[in-house]
Amino acid sequence: MATIFDNEQRTETATGGDAFGRWIGRHPVWALIIAVAVIFVLWLVLAPWPAGFEQVFGKKLIFINALFNGITLGGLYFLVAAGFTLIFGLMRNVNLAHGSLYLFGGYMGYEATQWTGSWLFSYVIAFLSCAVVGVAMQFFIFRRMEGQDLRQTLVTLGLSIVFSDLMVWVWGGNAIQIDTPDYLDGPVGMPIVVFVKSNGEAFYLHYPAVRLVIFAAAVVIGVGMWLALNRTRIGVMIRAGVDDRDMLSVLGYRVQLLFVVVFAFGAGLAGMAGIVGGTFQSLSLGEDSHFLLASLVVVIVGGMGSIPGAAIGALIIALSEQIGTVYFQNYSTVLSFLIMVIVLALRPQGLLGRR
């Protein structure tokens, strides 16, 4: 058994590094377009804008803020969607209560912050609280409804309504803000020129430190998840259990326990994302539905079961929302769904999804 898993890991390691080169060889035009787009965006960010350019697109500071807001919001969307893609895309469990886990984790993190005064410790509380709920859902609901997508959809939809009412009963309907810790409060200077005065004096971008730190943490979590799924034995076991759980059971592995752990981890990620959302924005009634819908769109665009796909989808959707809010105020929401429709039409499995 160990030999089979080890061989698969070595094969993936050998072929993974060549995948990007093969993609460029198959799609040279798209590779060129992407390279030109990346160079153009870098010019927009790093170079001073000419006066005529600002007359068309507005002040550079507005664009840069929208760009960075979109990137950091993409980190938040990724944290929510990464748990969702594990549960829905990889394990094939339709969990429409995922948004409720996000909101519940945010509320529990808020309470932990109020009790202990520690913003970092609140992540532990939120993760464990939502992981416990996820274990209960996997054991009592999804374990008894494997392969029954319609029943899973209806039951978890009902659960999301119950969870929402319970959270309103406990925390009320007013918006709650999680305080930023003192050591992350305030802006940090960045080497990006936002405008130049007539005397040649340059002004640089200042951006909230907490958003940058949380985005960096989201990147670390994403890389860790990808490595765990693709470069470790337990990752091979998870994917083997999804493809053929009966064979994995015959080999002596406890598939149900493995799935409970994965479900708990995905639910815990959603809970941690709730604290991020409460720090970025606020926690209020209706946020569960908003982030459930955002997770669905991100997973559809990126591809079910793909961690890199979830990251790319989260960035695309978040950037479309933030830039759309600045330049297309009346159509910012439509822009996200337009992207989803285009992806479904051209690549139904998502950008990085498997056929």
Exposure b/e, 294-303, CB count within 10 A at least 16 = b: bbbbbbbbbb
- Tell me the mean pLDDT per 10 residues along the chain, length 355: 50 51 76 86 81 76 90 94 83 88 95 92 95 92 85 92 92 89 88 75 86 93 90 81 71 79 92 92 88 92 88 94 85 86 90 77
Backbone angles phi, psi at 146, to 5 degrees: -60, 130
Domains and CATH numbers, the chain: 65-346 (1.10.3470)
- pLDDT at position 6 is 53
Q: For residues 68 and 352, what is the distance between their CA atoms, to the nearest angstrom?
A: 24
What pLDDT score was predicted for residue 2?
Answer: 47
Hey, what are 338's tokens? Answer: 């337009």
Is residue 312 a contact partner of residue 302, using CB atoms and an 8 Å limit? yes
Q: Do residues 223 and 52 make contact, with C-beta atoms less than 8 angstroms apart?
A: no
Whether residue 315 contacts residue 70, with contact meaning beta carbons closer than 8 Å, is answered with: yes
SS3 191: strand
Cα→Cα distances 269→82, 123, 137, Å: 8, 9, 15
Contact 279/214 with Cβ under 8 angstroms? yes
The backbone region for 156, taken as left when phi is positive above 0, alpha when psi lies in -120 to 50, beta otherwise, is alpha
Q: Which of 66, 61, 59, 105 is nearest to 83 (CA)?
A: 105
Which residues lie below 8 Å from residue 311, measured CB to CB, with a gap of 6+?
Answer: 74, 78, 82, 222, 302
pLDDT at 160: 93
Q: Quick one: which of 222, 241, 223 has its CA closest to 90?
A: 241
Torsions phi, psi for 198 (to 5 deg):
-65, -25
What one-character DSSP code corresponds to residue 176? B
pTM: 0.89
Q: 275 and 105 in contact (C-beta within 8 Å)?
A: yes
pLDDT at 16: 47
Please give the Cα distance from 107 to 284 (Å, whole number). 9
Strand partners, 204: 193
Distance CA 192, CA 175 (A): 34
Tell me which residue of 309, 310, 317 sits closest to 336, measured CA to CA: 317
Strand positions, DSSP E, 126-264: 187-196, 202-208
